[in-house]
Chain A
Amino acid sequence: MRPDILAMRCNVLVPLKKRAVPFFWTKTTLLLALFFNLFFFCACSNKDLDVYVESDKYSNAADFIGNNYNLTLFYAALQQADLLDLLKEEGPYTLFAPTNKAFNDLGIVRASDFASMKQDSLRQLLLYHMLPRRLYTSDVPPNTIDNKYVNMMEKELFIGYKTQKVCAECNLISDLYVNGSKSVLATQNIVLANGVLHVVDKVLKYNPTIQDVLTSKPEYSLFIALLKRMDDWERLGEPVNTTVFAPDNEAFKKAGITANDIAHLDPSKYGKRLSRAYLLYNHFFLSDMAIYGQLPGSGYYGSPYYRARIVGDELYYFGISSNTPMEPFIIHSQAPEANTPLQISKFQPSYQTDYKADNGVVHGINTLLVLPEEALIKESTKTNQR
């Protein structure tokens, strides 16, 4: 304290002894008290007194799934594959849990249906739906695709996240996509004691190569025959990315093409688009287009979700149109046909798309994009080929 203040205080205090209860004494004491109080306040450090107590009321993954009526088939599958004990452990886990509807789409309607499956492959399928970490939607970069996270089968899951609020009154769009399966805002980020759970609308499907995907499904036998005949089959077993839009046997039947017709095709007489209209040398899920949105341009076929030249037949584009639901189409790149698609197809129901393989993705479609007679090389068009 400054010496002059001390001296002042002495002057004030000395006459005090002579009087019993002097009025100014109380006042000075009061002032002094106030003065010292200031020091007390200064000396205080503001410690945050809110104590964070971690809630212990969350259930673990196994119990949560078991108690959820919408996930009974997923629970039954976990039970069948002996994974429930694992999900009671500390984790952490991220689970992408398909709904009962997702299993129903695949023809699995009751718990006992899992009993006939091979336990090992069922276990692999289920581990494919889990990450050995916590992943909330906020951990995924907004409006991006292809965020790769290694799952418990040691394969990469491709996660996309769309988050948008167009106007103040608009609903918040917050869609999480895992290999093309969607998890909406209401069923995302369910906190578990040992992780986090997102409910998805499709069972994730995985095969090592695209060849495996196609051969495992009898409905693509004619398409496989066409690819083999046109020398495009080998690529689908190699480690280069291809996205396949596979027409099923019904599509060939609608066009009046039989296995015999395909066996007798002469590949040299046809443009490459006969088979390559269905092959994109790229890797994407249908949901990726929903996240990235349409390409710039105008009109139905001018601003598609995707458009790419057909490899080996570059005068033609494969595209996915801007309407809902998306429609794959083929279009000539030059006038006069540049604004009208030559053929339009439709996707199979969503549970028959987004088959993931290490070297690409397979999406089922229900109409042929190129008929053999359309792809016949004529003398006039031959000169146009690049």
Chain B
Amino acid sequence: MKHKNLNCSLFAVIALSFVFCVASCKKTEYRTVEDPAYIRVFNNLTYTLTLDNKEEAQPFFCMFIDPEFDASGKPIGGLAIGDFLDKRNIYAAPNAAHAGLSTSKYNPEYPGKELVPTAPILNGFDLTNWAQVSAGKRRFLFMARPISSVPFAKLPDEQQRKVFLDTIIDLSSREVYTLHILQKDFKTKENGLYVRQETFHKQAFSDTLTYVNFYNLSAKGFLQADLSQKLPVPGTTRSLRYGLLDTMNIFITHIQPSVNAAGATVQQRIPNFSYQYAGQILRKIDAPKVTPYYGFPIFLQDKNKVYSNTWQYIQFFAPAIDPRTAGSYLEPPLVPGGLTEPAVKDGTFGYMLMDHAQYSPSNYLNTFFPGLTVNVHSGTANPRTFGVVNSIEVVNGHAFLTTVQRKYPQPIY
């Protein structure tokens, strides 16, 4: 009898656990995209609305890919929706730095914080920052919306009807694209979508070098405009505030910090890697094409072999100015202090300081960018320096850095 009694309890326990097992089951349907292309969207409109340009649209968007409309002509859905598309950050990090870390709904890029199927690793490059979208002809609709944390669909009706940009682009299968909302003409305030098919994952890049290329995506007429119209925008570089000429030579100087006898950090340039000519930066917004990458070694330190603390001092000079002989410009590694206005306002000179030690995302009037190499904890080495692939985009007096990194060994703690 006792045995049966036990049996009975056993039966109940088994039955209960069975119920729990069944109840805890969940079928996950993974979202897959047939025949995908990979896209990453940036909003390069950095202007703030003032009384002078108040008729312009608020540069804050809800993006619809292949939108669907209700009977009244209001977009209500589509293949993909990217709401809260804000001005881009000056640094687009190689990994999905925004995911899960930010409490703000505002998205500095698409996909950024959106939970969408992202691109795989292509030729070693981690493309988590690119979203998958079906290849083919896709309609991109950008709706201007007020800056608030109310989702687009819940805004008052009249605020869901401000079309900012409506265009169709052709995406090829398994290709990588970066899309930029750009101002095309500074005077007429005409805007457009700039679509660049990237090639970095197809190029034979070396592991031991780091690469950078340059684009000038400034609007037509920005450089020529009255200086008073080129307002500084908080949080972006001020060294390029007045713009660059359409053709500029690029020189990169590599700076090596060291500690002197008194214990102070001294920045010194590496003599043989000073004023390295790195090609030209051309203003071009009509025919998007990848510009040549310039590669340089990552200068690993002698003792530990995996880490480098060098940084890069990039100078832009109008052709014929030679930084080795022209004495009137700041000489690397000298850096301007504080809120220095660019001394040269005619677009013949500009500089960027790619020093991760001095970079701060919250710094007003930022001149310092993260370096062109990436230092992370990988394996047992913390940090370890990796060569990466960078793009620097100069847009209307601001500069933006985008970095792509290969997949690297995970950290061992």
Contact = CB atoms under 8 A, between A and B. Distances in A.
Interface string A259-285: 000000000000000000000001010
Contact of A143 (B7, B14, B50, B147): B147
Contacts of B231: 295-296
A256 to B, nearest CB: 34
A15 B7 CA distance: 14
A24 B15 contact: no
A296 B12 contact: no
A24 B51 contact: no
A38 B232 contact: no
Nearest to B148: A142
B380 interface: no
Contact of B12 (A32, A142, A144, A289): A32
Contact of A24 (B5, B228, B232): B5
Nearest to B365: A296
B52 interface: yes
A31 B7 CA distance: 12
Contacts of A28: 8, 12
Given A141-B147, A143-B147, A292-B50, A8 B19 contact: no
B27 to A, nearest CB: 17
A342 interface: no
A11 B55 CA distance: 84
B197 interface: no
Interface in A102-145: 139, 141-145
B9 A145 contact: no
B146 interface: yes
A52 interface: no
B7 A282 contact: no
A5 B147 contact: no
Given A35-B15, A143-B147, A296-B232, A24 B52 contact: no
Contacts of A142: 146-148
A10 B228 CA distance: 92
Contact of A282 (B52, B146, B147): B52
A129 to B, nearest CB: 20
A240 interface: no
B149 to A, nearest CB: 10
B55 to A, nearest CB: 8
A105 B23 CA distance: 71
Given A24-B4, A35-B15, A141 B51 contact: no
A344 B208 CA distance: 65
Interface string B50-61: 111011001000
Give the most central of A34, A35, A309: most B CB within 10 Å: A35
A28 B11 CA distance: 10
A292 B50 CA distance: 7
Given A31-B8, A35-B16, A146-B54, A139 B156 contact: yes
Nearest to B234: A296
Contacts of A139: 156
B49 interface: yes
A306 B54 CA distance: 13
A255 interface: no
Nearest to B6: A24
Contact of A31 (B4, B9, B58, B156): B9
B144 to A, nearest CB: 10
Nearest to B149: A142
Contacts of B276: none
Contacts of A27: 5, 8-9
A12 interface: yes
Given A12-B8, A141-B148, A35 B19 contact: yes
Interface string B1-31: 1001101110110111011000100000000
A170 interface: no
Given A31-B9, A292-B51, 15 more contacts: A5-B15, A8-B7, A12-B8, A15-B4, A24-B4, A28-B12, A42-B23, A141-B147, A144-B58, A282-B51, A284-B51, A288-B51, A292-B49, A292-B50, A292-B54
A-B complex: 7 closest residue pairs judged by Cβ atoms: A141-B146, A31-B12, A139-B156, A24-B5, A28-B8, A8-B11, A284-B51
18 contacts: A2-B18, A5-B15, A11-B4, A11-B7, A24-B5, A27-B5, A27-B9, A32-B12, A35-B19, A42-B23, A141-B148, A142-B147, A144-B49, A145-B54, A146-B54, A284-B54, A306-B51, A309-B228
